[in-house]
Amino acid sequence: MHSPVPGTISPAPAGDAVERGHHRLFWGLQIGGWLLLVPVVAAVTLIVFPNPRAALVTGLVRQAIGFVLTLGLWRLYRRWPPADFKLARHAGSIMVYCLLATAVDELAALGAGSLFALAPLPMIVQRGAIVVRLTLYAGWSALYFTIRAELESRDHELRLARAEAAARESELLLLRAQVNPHFLFNALHTIVAEAEDHPAAVGDIAHAVADYLRYSLRHGSHHAPLGDELNAVGNYLNVERAHLGRDRLDWKIECTDEARMTLAPTALVQPLIENAIKYGLRTSPPPLRLRVNARVEAGELLVSVENTGAWLTRRPGEQARDSTGIGLNNLRRRLMLLCGEQARLDVQKPEGAVRIEVRLPASQPAGITPPPH
């Protein structure tokens, strides 16, 4: 019937919105609960005094008294913060408060009876009323603390969920921040190398790098249409081929229209490309052949990056020497944060090649439908 108001529980991170919600809940239950008791008490009073006026006045007066006294109980109870409240320790105080409220209730009822010239109730009825009012105040108190504990539990869960979301957001931003500087380092190294050997090609390479960085800055969210990244990856591969030489890298990207419009985690393909080039060059005879394939099947987006060569098993300490740590582990972690267990990353080893395949739920931007095939 009743519930806490602001100040009875620690506000959740939602701040004012949560406080206003608790405020509305309390007053809704407080006013509604006591109003519902008016006809009940009036009906019981009619049994003793078949006088509608006396019954109605008694019902209104007793519930008005109860309304005011429970507000007083609330003022007392909210001095005990939820974190410090223990039923075993506070049960005695609660019972004393309920007895005091019952005594004040009876005295106020007698005064109201004299004020409105109501005939006194029979002694047995008065005694029964004392028990009923004491039970009512005890029940109000029990319901108050029950609802308060439930709201505090929900707010605690909400705080934990929002803290976890904030931590996930921070981690995702950190992981993305690691990817872009890694690409930038590689691109600048390529530009420096080309400036020394092929100055005329520097302009094209610089434009390709600028287009990739423009893509990276434009997509501040964690998801974007896959086609946007594939365009950027094409620029990245052009930079790599310019650095390595056309006879050392042969690449191709195949993607269906539906897959191009499918939302995917940003920086999904580029780490796989980096991984394929870095380790494929060690095990593949030239040219290194690299194929990217993307399609949608049975509600899943499938993206695979395959390169010639063999799976390279790192020796202890090797990663620390030649890798910044950005690669498959980074991508696995981001996929887990963004998609949970619905995303999978599998490494396959067909003869003479290595294929890394990512599967995740397919979704498209609102209002966009794939063109007919």
pLDDT score for 98: 93
Distance CA 227, CA 57 (A): 75
Distance CA 324, CA 316 (A): 15
Closest by CA position to 259, among listed 332, 339, 364: 364
Closest by CA position to 132, among listed 71, 75, 63: 63
pLDDT score for 310: 84
- Amino acid symbol at 25: L
Beta bridge partners of 289: 250
Cβ-contact 59, 41 below 8 angstroms: yes
The packing angle between helices 226-244 and 270-283, to 10°, is: 30
Question: What are the domain boundaries of the chain?
Answer: 16-163, 198-361
CB atoms closer than 10 angstroms to residue 340: 10
- Amino acid symbol at 149: A
pLDDT score for 302: 93
Distance CA 155, CA 150 (A): 9
Closest by CA position to 2, among listed 72, 57, 58: 72
Distance CA 41, CA 71 (A): 20
Please count the CA atoms within 13 angstroms of the CA of 233 that sit on its side-chain side: 27
pLDDT score for 304: 93
The packing angle between helices 226-244 and 202-218, to 10°, is: 150
Question: Could you tell me the mean pLDDT of each successive run of 10 residues in the chain, 373 residues long?
Answer: 37 56 82 84 72 73 88 89 82 92 87 73 73 90 88 77 59 53 69 74 77 67 82 82 79 92 84 84 87 91 91 60 56 77 85 90 58 42
pLDDT score for 290: 93
- Amino acid symbol at 146: T
Closest by CA position to 146, among listed 233, 56, 85, 71: 85
In CATH, the number for domain 198-361 is 3.30.565.10
Cα distances (Å, whole numbers) of residue 229 to 191, 213, 273, 338, 339: 21, 11, 12, 17, 18
